[in-house]
A and B are shown apart, each in its own frame.
Chain A
Amino acid sequence: MSFLEIKKVGKSFGSQEIVKQLDIDLEAGKTLSILGKSGCGKTTMLKMIAGLESPDEGSIKLGGTIMNTVPPAKRGIVYLYQEDLLFPHLSVYENIAFGLRIQRKDKSYIDKEVRRMIAELQLEGHADKMPEAISGGQRQRVSFGRAIITNPSLLLLDEPFGSLDAGTRKDMQGLFTDLSATYKITSLFVTHDMKEAILMGDEIGLMREGRLKIYKSQQAFLADPDTGVANEIDFWGGLTSKKSE
């Protein structure tokens, strides 16, 4: 049973068709990683799902409810940008608590949840710091915590590790995998990094010129010559064999 059902969604800006006939079926608790180059329509697709852009055609269903006319604040879908977008006037604690505060949750509940999340994100000792006083990786952790603590139905991640160095990126990939499993997060994970797409997704999508092709398994993705994985394997395999010669 699909939790996220997107049927024939399309979007144009003027005469330019950005997203064409988008179809997605994703089960609850799964991650669909979407691979695509810059300008292929990934961000527009995510914005339509989040309600920040309206589709020209098609339907978006989440948990059986049609979302097309539901405003972003009522969808329960959180959109995470490449930039962490921490609020510079709030401490780490208050940034994580932000979503719960605007939902007017009980103070003791907020405190309990935020402290739990801080521990989960390994940010103990940083709660009272302001965003400019922590590292890039820590900022991205806070950004994740701020989103996940609101218990969203769907998490949309738009190249969230794009600005991080290789080491921090690897740590964050591990953290996201753990959090996804703990909180049973359903998510769309957009990236332009093939390895990251394979590592993060239960299913993998390839987006080209506004069209999304979804592979239900890693094997199917690897087997398709269009994905370019075979070329990558040949390249690295070639290097290894040259070295051994």
Chain B
Amino acid sequence: MVAQKRYHMRRPSFSIVMLAYGLWVLFPFLYLLVLSLSADWRFPDIVPNYIGFKNWATVLGGETGLAKSFFLSLFISVLVALSSTLCGFFLSRIVNYNKKKDLWTIISYFPYVLAPVVFGACLSYYFLRLGILGTTFGVILAQFFIAFPYAMIFFSPFWTEKTKDYENLVATLGGSLVQKFTKVLFPLSKNLLLICFFQTFLISWFEYGLSSIIGVGKVQTLTIQVFLFIKESNFYYGAMSCCLLMLPPVVFIYLNKRYVFNKIL
């Protein structure tokens, strides 16, 4: 009875704490959204002189090139995530079943020894010689070099002795290599594949330094556009591009929670 009373006594303060926490977490996002809908908001005005969809209409109208950058970034990130997840999955199998597994794993960490900008500077010489500097393909390839080792490392714990036993079992039951993958390995690793796809997508989606060096201003990804608006002190377009930048991660967090995390837990 006493404990129940205490619980009831705690509830209002607990709600206030939770509300404050919620506001603290959500405030930057809400503020960005308001800023993206605003115009002519000058000191000392408390509220903006204009709130509406003018900025968004401009974007959708294609004047700023933001829509184009959004779809270009989406294209690059999907391709990088897809290729690095699949290559990482297949190659980590080869590496983890190899006797020199430890050496290959250390090599996988190598791209992360250098900062992306330095790594980009190293790559730019070879990309220039290959004629892919300043091209979308060049940016995809450069981002792949960062995302692919991540996928390799990510899948390492999956290739255990037990996984190998599953593979051997399928083989002795008469299964081919393709059937090993389609009937057993892909279904077993379905959630890992999805998480790796999301993670590598985000690595590519938020990548700035490497893309700006390899893209040399010709490949305008969304992160490059965000920085351009910030440099120009165009807060409204900057906020709007940040909202666009947040959109895929929010969708992925939702999908992760809905289809992956719940099944793991």
Contacts and interface: CB of A to CB of B under 8 A. Distances in A.
B173 A146 contact: yes
B188 A83 contact: no
Interface stretch (A59-67, A69-77, A171-179, A189-197): A69-77
A103 interface: yes
Interface stretch (B61-69, B162-170, B195-203): B162-170
B172 A50 contact: yes
A159 to B, nearest CB: 13
Interface string B159-181: 00010011011111111100100
List 8 tightest A-B contacts by C-beta distance, closest first. Answer: A72-B171, A99-B173, A89-B187, A102-B175, A79-B172, A78-B172, A102-B179, A73-B174
A88 interface: yes
A85 B183 contact: no
A75 B172 contact: yes
B162 A73 contact: no
Contacts of B187: 87, 89
Interface of A: 50-52, 71-79, 81, 83, 85, 87-89, 98-99, 101-103, 146-147, 150
B165 A78 contact: no
Interface string B49-90: 000000000000000000000000000000000000000000
Given A89-B187, A102-B183, A83 B165 contact: yes
A102 B173 contact: yes
B83 to A, nearest CB: 26
B168 A102 contact: no
Contacts of A147: 173
Nearest to A47: B168
A72 B183 contact: no
Contacts of B169: 79, 81, 85
A76 B172 CA distance: 7
A103 B190 CA distance: 24
A123 B179 CA distance: 27
Contact of B172 (A52, A87, A103): A52
17 contacts: A50-B168, A50-B172, A52-B171, A73-B175, A73-B176, A79-B169, A85-B162, A85-B166, A85-B169, A87-B166, A87-B187, A98-B173, A102-B173, A102-B175, A103-B174, A147-B173, A150-B174
B184 interface: yes
B188 A89 contact: yes
Contacts of B173: 73, 78, 98-99, 102, 146-147, 150
Nearest to B184: A87
Nearest to B164: A52
B172 A83 contact: no
A81 B165 contact: yes
A80 to B, nearest CB: 8
A81 B172 CA distance: 12
Given A87-B184, A102-B170, 16 more contacts: A52-B168, A73-B173, A78-B173, A79-B169, A83-B162, A83-B165, A85-B162, A85-B169, A87-B188, A99-B174, A102-B175, A102-B183, A103-B174, A146-B173, A147-B173, A150-B173
A21 B162 CA distance: 29
Nearest to B187: A89
Contacts of B170: 102
Nearest to A150: B173
A88 B188 contact: yes
Contacts of A87: 166, 184, 187-188
